[in-house]
Amino acid sequence: MGIFDFLTGEFIDVIHWTDNTRDTMVWRFEREGHEIKYGAKLTVREGQAAVFVHEGQLADVFTPGLYMLETNNMPIMTTLQHWDHGFKSPFKSEIYYVNTTRFSNLKWGTKNPIMVRDPEFGPTRLRAFGTYTVKVADPAVFLREIVGTDGEFTMDEISYQIRNIIVQEFSRVIAQSGIPVLDMAANTADLGKLIASAIDPTMKQYGLTIPELYIENISLPAAVEEALDKRTSMGLAGDLGKFTQYSAAEAMTSAASNPAGGGMAAGLGAGMGMAMAGQMAQGGPWGASPAAAPPPPPPVEHVWHIANAGEVTGPFSKAAMGRMVTDGKLSRDSMVWTQGQDGWMQAGEVMELAQLFTIMPPPPPGA
């Protein structure tokens, strides 16, 4: 990983690190048997930070750039008590390179279901999984709190702990969000941001940050999903009788295609087919006679008002109007009105009343 240029014997003059593993977070510059020469060149590339540890104490943190290890750029190390050779003597210090780039496409998921109280389904269990991105925000804190004296620290050594933190905060955020289970798929982006912000204080204690957190899926237990699928199928079928026919056809097909069932499966399929045929012929559920069609609603009987000499009387039923015709109190020229009629009309022009004036009594007896 490191490339060392030796100028004279045991003195190291150039210090730098290149990495192609894509999972190394911290790498220690190996100084066993070597001493760092005062005035050596330290190269820190973009996406790196160099941390100096001298005599067990964290001395300096160098950001990307090229440095000469001298007093003017080592303000903390010059205060230590071991520079007794006029800053000319080699010194022994540990140099840790910290990778400050983003480690992406890291997986997280719930090992066990999470209990939540859904407003529609009541108490239920959820599972979720997704990806996240982690980045070293404070190399000194990360080295002090997590890495310690590990000479080569990889992402695998901290990913398990980060997953536990994510699952813990996911459980808390989901329980407090109050979002129905069926609406969570539409709110995964907002939930991811809430979880990332909830994790941030804990991650800062490790010197880390999570720039991105994605929820790829939130799922219910298999039994609940099966019940939801049946409920959806019933909604699509619309008619319960048709859904029963569809279920019977599916069961018959499954029984007929099961070679282990033998004659029993064939008999079952035949029986179900006959029952289904009978049902379809009757147009109703198995064993039930077809329901009689309901009678049509009764006709609406009109009532009439009569206008005579500026006065309105009524309402009168059609039977009462017939008696008034017989008594001579109602003629074809009488003005009448009923609900739904467009203004007053002569009784003889109303089709429903016109027949009252055409019915003639039979001839008197003995005529």
pLDDT tens string 196-254: 888 999 999 999 999 999 998 888 877 777 877 777 776 665 556 666 777 777 777 77
Answer for the pair 304, 353: CB distance below 8 angstroms, yes or no: yes
Q: Tell the residue number behind the tokens 């389904």, with chain if given.
A: 121
Say yes or no: 214 and 118 in one domain.
yes
pLDDT at 208: 93
Alpha helices in the chain, H assignment, sequence order: 139-142, 156-177, 188-205, 222-237, 240-256, 262-282, 318-326, 351-354
Question: Is 207 a domain residue?
Answer: yes
Say yes or no: 107 and 41 in one domain.
no
Say yes or no: 85 and 120 in one domain.
no
Question: Is 166 a domain residue?
Answer: yes
Q: Tell the residue number behind the tokens 């006709």, with chain if given.
A: 299
Say yes or no: 172 and 187 in one domain.
yes
Pairing of strands 48-54, 57-62: antiparallel
Answer for the pair 126, 185: CB distance below 8 angstroms, yes or no: no
Name, in order, each residue with C-beta under 8 angstroms of 258's C-beta and a sequence gap of 6 or more: 265
Question: Is 227 a domain residue?
Answer: no
Closest CA to 200 of 137, 142, 110: 137
pTM to 2 decimals?
0.55
Strand partners, 336: 306, 345
Question: Is 233 a domain residue?
Answer: no
Question: Is 137 a domain residue?
Answer: yes
Say yes or no: 108 and 80 in one domain.
no
Question: Is 339 a domain residue?
Answer: yes
Question: Is residue 37 over pLDDT 50?
Answer: yes
Query: What is the pLDDT of the chain when averaged over all its residues?
Result: 76
Say yes or no: 198 and 137 in one domain.
yes
Residue 158 to residues 108, 134, 183, 213, 316, Cα–Cα distance (Å): 13, 10, 33, 16, 93
Q: Give the range of the structural domain holding residue 164, as residue numbers without chain letter.
A: 103-219
Question: Which range, 92-96, 141-145, 220-224, is most confident?
Answer: 141-145
Say yes or no: 111 and 45 in one domain.
no
Boundary (domain end) residue, out of 186, 219, 252? 219
CATH number of the domain where residue 316 is located: 3.30.1490
Q: How far apart are the C-alpha atoms of 343 and 365, rounded to whole Å?
A: 43
Boundary (domain end) residue, out of 192, 219, 246? 219
Question: Which range, 53-57, 145-149, 197-201, 277-281, is most confident?
Answer: 197-201
CATH number of the domain where residue 204 is located: 3.30.479.30
Say yes or no: 59 and 82 in one domain.
yes
Half-sphere CA count of 332, side-chain side, radius 13 A: 7
Say yes or no: 16 and 77 in one domain.
yes
Say yes or no: 213 and 136 in one domain.
yes
- Buried residues in 89-124 as b, exposed as e (16+ CB within 10 A): eebebbbbbbbbebbeebebebeeebebebeeeeeb
Question: Is 278 a domain residue?
Answer: no
Say yes or no: 12 and 40 in one domain.
yes
Say yes or no: 138 and 188 in one domain.
yes
Our count of domains for the chain comes to 3
Can you state the angle between helices 240-256 and 262-282, rounded to 10 degrees? 160
Closest CA to 26 of 49, 42, 44, 45: 49
Boundary (domain end) residue, out of 219, 252, 285? 219
Question: Is 244 a domain residue?
Answer: no
Provide φ and ψ at 184, rounded to 5°: -70, -30
